[in-house]
């Protein structure tokens, strides 16, 4: 079967400033929470590899953009580092950062690659985290000023902006489950961080629209479908609560401008509702996006709890559901994630049927594998497993398109093997292999397959 995509389909990949730029405390950049946490607890990072040891995009950007061109990208997403552009978080702009980002944007455009620019990818400037981070409304205001500065500096050429990537992750990692700094475990504070993030998002959207620069602004959400173990009402109810907390807590404000009443009632009933200020509802209503980025990696399998909650335990989402391991599921054993390609179709279908079929694109989808050198053949990583992964997911995207879903493109995570938070370089995701010591780049077999698919605007199944 031939899978053809629209002529205007976006083919590309995604990355981020903190995971690729390197030069973590150089050229005027200040520390982020990642620089600080690595300094404090290097043992929390795989093989004690920190955010300074990346693919060195700050130095190699011209060569990397040439590789993007070779891979037939017509679009590429990366982010701006707040700590690099405005080192104290609130004040003067760093001219070295302005020059750096201008060069990247101009070179992408010169190579016929449309820049998709994200403003925040988990990398809070340390100086602002020390003031409370997203718990502090002054930091929300500082973010809005930072966003407007980016629009002013780069908005004449950048026409696709995103306020946040996966905003649920700093909430989960930093304030619920202790896998990101500041390592808090407190649901009420987590809810406040999530709420303030969407206030920051809405303020940035307002600034962008006031400038009338002829582009569009959106947000990137990692949407993880919550599938109940069975049709039993208890399992269905449990899956609905998981969906409310981990998907709709950001999806509804981004697409509807308000929170689900069911979620608000649940948090209020348990005393976990964050404090609201007069005018918040009106502000949130202005944050409905022009374009939704969808990151999809795995499904969430849910069942009702089989045991009572310990009343002395901290309030957690798992008070209402438990995780379920579906028999016979296909797994990526290196990342510990289920591979379920139909999930990407289910997301697109839900957006079409329940959210008015918004303009959207797959902004991340990928497969991390450990020790990929095992699969080297004649000097090239023969990652047929990654080709199979991408092909299968694209087949389900194609089905969504055939049924009318408004999906405009597919971006793979990621272009080049990059540093990945506490995982560091344990698992590799790139179309391009990186030798960390020598910084040598080599296109993998999957990169060649993707280049051919993008050139032909489709593939044979």
Reply yes or no on whether 166 is catalytic. Answer: yes
Beta bridge partner(s), residue 372: none
Reply yes or no on whether 373 is catalytic. Answer: no
Q: With 0-12 CB in 10 A as exposed, 13-18 as middle and 19+ as buried, what is 183?
A: middle
> Catalytic one among 107, 135, 364, 372?
364
Q: What is the 3-state secondary structure (H, E, C) of the chain?
A: CEEECCCCCEEEEECCHHHHCCCCCCCCCCCEHHHHHHHHCHHHCHHHCCCCCCCCHHHHHHHHHHHHHHCCCCEEEEECCHHHHCCCCCCCCCHHHHHHHHHHHHHHHHCCCEEEEECCCCCCEHHHHCCCHHHCHHHHHHHHHHHHHHHHHHCCCCCEEEEEECCHHHHHHHHCCCCCCCCCCCHHHHHHHHHHHHHHHHHHHHHHHHHCCCCEEEEEEECCCEEECCCCHHHHHHHHHHHHHHHHHHHHHHHHCCCCHHHHHHHHHCCCCCCCCCCHHHHHHCCCCCEEEEECCCCEEEECCCCCCCCCCCCCHHHCCEECCCCCCCEECCCCEECCCHHHHHHHHHHHHHCCCCCEEEEECCCCEECHHHHEECCEECCHHHHHHHHHHHHHHHHHHHCCCCEEEEEEECCECCCEHHHECCEECCCEEEECCCCEEEECHHHHHHHHHHHHCEEEC
84/103 Cα distance (integer angstroms): 15
202, 209 Cβ separation under 8 angstroms:
no
Residue 162 vs residues 196, 217, 338, 397: alpha-carbon distances, Å: 17, 6, 28, 22
452/449 Cα distance (integer angstroms): 5
152, 136 Cβ separation under 8 angstroms:
no
> Catalytic one among 135, 166, 172, 372?
166
174, 123 Cβ separation under 8 angstroms:
no
Catalytic positions, written as ranges: 166, 364
């Amino acid at each position: 079967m031939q899978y053809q995509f629209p002529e205007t389909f976006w083919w590309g990949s995604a990355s981020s400033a903190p995971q690729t730029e390197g030069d973590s405390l150089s050229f005027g950049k200040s520390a982020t929470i990642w620089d600080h946490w690595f300094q404090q607890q290097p043992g929390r990072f795989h093989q004690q590899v920190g955010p300074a040891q990346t693919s060195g995009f700050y130095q190699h950007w011209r060569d990397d953009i040439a590789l993007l061109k070779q891979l037939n990208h017509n679009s590429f997403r990366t982010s701006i580092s707040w700590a690099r552009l405005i080192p104290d978080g609130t004040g003067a702009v760093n001219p070295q950062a302005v020059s750096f980002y201008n060069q990247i944007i101009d070179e992408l455009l010169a190579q016929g690659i449309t820049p998709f620019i994200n403003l925040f990818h988990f990398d809070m400037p340390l100086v602002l985290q020390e003031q409370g981070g997203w718990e502090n409304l002054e930091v929300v205001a500082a973010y809005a000023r930072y966003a407007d500065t980016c629009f002013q500096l780069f908005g004449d050429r950048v026409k696709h902006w995103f306020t946040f990537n996966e905003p649920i992750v700093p909430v989960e990692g930093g304030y619920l489950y202790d896998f990101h700094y500041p390592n808090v475990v407190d649901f009420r504070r987590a809810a406040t961080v999530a709420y303030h993030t969407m206030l920051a998002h809405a303020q940035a959207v307002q600034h962008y629209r006031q400038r009338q620069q002829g582009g569009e602004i959106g947000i990137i959400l990692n949407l993880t479908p919550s599938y109940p173990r069975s049709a039993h009402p208890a399992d269905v109810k449990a899956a609905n609560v998981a969906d409310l907390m981990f998907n709709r807590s950001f999806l509804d404000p981004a697409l509807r401008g308000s929170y689900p009443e069911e979620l608000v009632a649940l948090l209020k009933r348990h005393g976990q509702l964050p404090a609201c200020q007069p005018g918040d509802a009106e502000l949130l209503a202005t944050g409905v996006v022009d374009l939704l980025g969808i990151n999809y990696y795995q499904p969430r399998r849910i069942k009702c709890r089989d045991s009572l909650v310990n009343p002395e335990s901290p309030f957690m989402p798992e008070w209402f559901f438990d995780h379920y391991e579906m028999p016979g599921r296909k797994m990526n054993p290196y990342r510990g994630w289920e591979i379920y390609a139909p999930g990407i179709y289910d997301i697109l279908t839900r957006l079409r049927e329940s959210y008015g079929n918004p303009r959207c694109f797959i902004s991340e989808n990928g497969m991390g594998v450990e020790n990929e050198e095992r699969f080297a053949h004649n000097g090239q990583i023969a990652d047929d497993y990654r080709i199979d992964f991408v092909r299968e997911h694209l087949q389900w995207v194609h089905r969504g398109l055939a049924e009318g879903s408004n999906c405009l493109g597919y971006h793979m995570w990621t272009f080049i093997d990059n540093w990945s938070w506490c995982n560091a370089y344990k698992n590799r995701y790139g179309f391009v292999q990186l030798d960390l010591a020598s910084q040598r780049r080599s296109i993998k077999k999957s990169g060649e397959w993707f280049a051919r698919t993008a050139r032909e605007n489709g593939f044979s199944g």
